[in-house]
Amino acid sequence: MLNISSQKYRIAFVILSCCVVLPFRIQAEPQPILTLDKAIERTLAQNPKLYQFTLVRQSILAQRETSELSPGFMLGLDVENAEGSGAMKGMDAAEVTLSLSSVIELGDKRTSRITVVDASMGVFELTRQAQTLDVLGELTSAFIRSLSTQEMLNLSIEAVKLSEALYKKVRKRAQRGAASDAEVMRARAMLTQARLQHSNILKKLERQKIALSTYWGETQPTFSNLQGDLFAFGQEFAFDALYEKVKKSPAIEVFASEKRLKNAELRLAKSQSSADLSWQFGVRRFEETGDSALTFGLSIPLFSESRNRGEVKSALAKRNAVEFKRIDTLLSLHDQLFKAYSLRQQNMDAYRQLKNSVIPDLEQALTLTRAAYVRGRLKYQDWIAAQQELLSAKQQMIESASAALLNQAIIEQLTAEPLTD
């Protein structure tokens, strides 16, 4: 796309393969020309939506550190038979126990916790890739629309020049008495409208430049023009081949990773059915006799498996739901892909017909009509009609090319692969 589509996804996946996104703030240097490659580079480096993944990744790594920890130790101090009455008055009959206690995890709980966090990291990485491609898809669409407006601006300049030529010719004919004052006023009004249209498109392009700049966190554009070929399309693949690529895209692969996560969560839930063994070891001192003795205790919860049965069922249901969600998403992506594929083909066909047949005919017709008007064989309205038909066809050609590329961007976003070499 735009002669740089292949580079777009190469750049994206090189950076996606890294563990972290580039630093959030990079001082942008003013560049008069903006290419899609440069826009992608800035977006990957500075887009706020993408930078948040760095923080999420840090959070998951912190969770893994916590999951690797073994149960902690507790130091206890128990005082019995103190501050009573009679023989138990004061601390004379007190029994003081200093103890150390902890838990022995059974059922391989620590490994299960770590597996869950590792699976979460896998889901995170694929989700990051899918969402990054979504952002790049939005950026590409915004770039194409801006490039289309830039082409419309060039067309509006051509419209102004044609209107100026028409106005000059009509005014000269009116001076010789060969045209009416009404024709002069209509030609002048048309020229004014053409200039107004040019001004409106120029302001629209300025708004779109600002919108593009927001993708890398800037409020004012540091470029003047966009560089790209609006009329260069990629290869034409069969729909089935594209759909196979969709099945392997991050948007679908994330479900496989999520299923692994749910399996890990299920194993963790099952591990909770194995009760942990609590132990306690200490030293007890008897103040009344001045003697000491060792204490030791073990405890284990009863009926842990039955009490944990609900958590296991819940984890199992969540795991099974992932597959149905994957099927539903795949059906939705199939529908999106086919619409984009069909519209791309339709608009490319329209562009080719306009470029190769319609516009050459209308250009020739305008030349003949202008010459005939000068010789007095055709009316002013004929010249106006021929000029408007040509400008309308060129506008339609730009719109068709833009629509084809916008749908191509959707296909590339869904398949995570470019349609150009």
Res. 6 pLDDT band, cuts 50 70 90 = very low
Res. 20 pLDDT band, cuts 50 70 90 = very low
User: Is 96 inside any structural domain?
Assistant: no
Q: Which residue has the higher pLDDT, 74 or 257?
A: 74
Residue in 29, 373, 388 with CA at minimum distance from that of residue 168: 373
User: Is 80 inside any structural domain?
Assistant: no
Residue 31 has a pLDDT of 57
Residue 288 has a pLDDT of 66
User: Is 156 inside any structural domain?
Assistant: yes
Residue 365 has a pLDDT of 95
Residue 19 pLDDT greater than 50, yes or no: no
Residue in 323, 345, 190 with CA at minimum distance from that of residue 255: 323
Res. 418 pLDDT band, cuts 50 70 90 = confident
User: Is 302 inside any structural domain?
Assistant: no
* 179-201: average pLDDT: 93
Are 131 and 39 within 8 A, CB to CB? Answer: no
User: Is 392 inside any structural domain?
Assistant: yes
Residues 249 and 412: their CA atoms lie apart, in Å, by 10
Place of tokens 């130091």: 75
Mean pLDDT of the chain: 81
User: Is 77 inside any structural domain?
Assistant: no
Read off the pLDDT of residues 286-308 as tens digits, 9 standing for 90 and up. 766 677 777 777 777 766 666 66
Residue 1 pLDDT greater than 90, yes or no: no
Q: The domain spanning residue 210 has which CATH number?
A: 1.20.1600.10
For strands 225-227 and 74-80, give the pairing: unpaired
Centroid of chain to Cα 262: 24
User: Is 24 inside any structural domain?
Assistant: yes
Question: Which domain does 377 fall in, by range?
Answer: 5-70+105-273+308-415
Residue 276 pLDDT greater than 80, yes or no: no
Residue 265 pLDDT greater than 70, yes or no: no
Res. 54 pLDDT band, cuts 50 70 90 = confident
Place of tokens 């790049």: 136
Residue 351 has a pLDDT of 96
Q: Which residue has the higher pLDDT, 301 or 418?
A: 418
* 9-36: average pLDDT: 50
Read off the pLDDT of residues 123-140 as tens digits, 9 standing for 90 and up. 888 888 888 888 999 999
* 358-371: average pLDDT: 94
CA distances from 115 to 58, 112, 124, 403, 420 (A): 17, 5, 14, 46, 40
Residue 115 has a pLDDT of 81
Question: Alpha-carbon torsion 288, 290, 293, 298, what sign?
Answer: positive
Residues 50 and 133: their CA atoms lie apart, in Å, by 10
Read off the pLDDT of residues 302-360 as tens digits, 9 standing for 90 and up. 666 666 677 777 777 877 888 888 888 889 999 999 999 999 999 999 999 999 999 99
Read off the pLDDT of residues 90-124 as tens digits, 9 standing for 90 and up. 555 667 777 777 777 767 777 777 787 888 888 88
Q: Which residue has the higher pLDDT, 417 or 185?
A: 185
Res. 375 pLDDT band, cuts 50 70 90 = confident
* 148-159: average pLDDT: 96
Number of domains present in the structure of the chain = 1
Q: Which residue has the higher pLDDT, 403 or 47?
A: 403
Residue 25 has a pLDDT of 37
Residue in 22, 23, 112, 19 with CA at minimum distance from that of residue 58: 19
User: Is 296 inside any structural domain?
Assistant: no
Residue in 98, 21, 52, 20 with CA at minimum distance from that of residue 284: 98
The answer to whether the pTM exceeds 0.75 is: yes
Residue 315 has a pLDDT of 74
Residue 414 pLDDT greater than 60, yes or no: yes
The top-scoring range by mean pLDDT among 1-15, 64-78, 367-381 is 367-381
Residue 310 has a pLDDT of 74
Residue 92 has a pLDDT of 58
Q: What percent of the chain lies above the pLDDT cut of 90? A: 39
Report the residue count for the chain: 421
Read off the pLDDT of residues 205-249 as tens digits, 9 standing for 90 and up. 999 999 999 999 898 888 989 999 999 888 888 999 999 999 888
